[in-house]
Amino acid sequence: MTVNTKKVTERRDVHYDSLDELLADAERLAKGQNRTVGNWTLGQILQHLAQSMDAAIDGMEMKVPWFMKMAFGLLMNKDKMLSRPISAGFKIPKKGEAQFIPDSSTSTEEGLASLRAAVQRFQNDTSRFQSKCSDTAIFF
């Protein structure tokens, strides 16, 4: 049965000051007993984080209409977007599912390995995907 993640009340409140803190928390979770409160396993969550970090460097496979990019670039505050969580229950657009929704068979070990690689890449590769409609690095 699918969980309506907008209504989940047991979500952890997390904040990381560095990617090293993120990775340390992921390592801790992967070593112990854990229970997710949404529809994904821990492996899927870790894989999704890795995919999102890679998209910040490579860009997204899905194409968003130019007017949506323009509106997003003009209306979004980059600092706010990067420092606050995405709303619970956010639905990934159908065109982005292949790039951002991990396979349900993704194990915790696979997700953690992908996250380790993505963190290392993000720390060592200073390039970031730049939107063609603004000077703000956004994930479109």
Residue 9 neighbours by CB distance under 10 Å = 6
| pLDDT for the residue numbered 92 | 67
Q: How does pLDDT run along the chain (140 residues), one tens digit per residue?
A: 788 777 778 888 888 899 999 999 999 999 998 888 888 899 999 999 999 888 888 877 666 666 656 666 665 655 655 566 666 766 666 766 666 778 889 999 999 999 999 999 989 877 766 655 444 444 43
* The two structure tokens encoding residue 49: 């984080």
Inter-residue contact 111 to 47 (CB < 8 Å): yes
The number of residues making up the chain comes to 140
- The domain ranges of the chain are 16-124
* Residue 139 DSSP one-character state: -
Is the pTM higher than 0.85? The answer reads: no
* The two structure tokens encoding residue 14: 């997390």
| pLDDT for the residue numbered 133 | 44
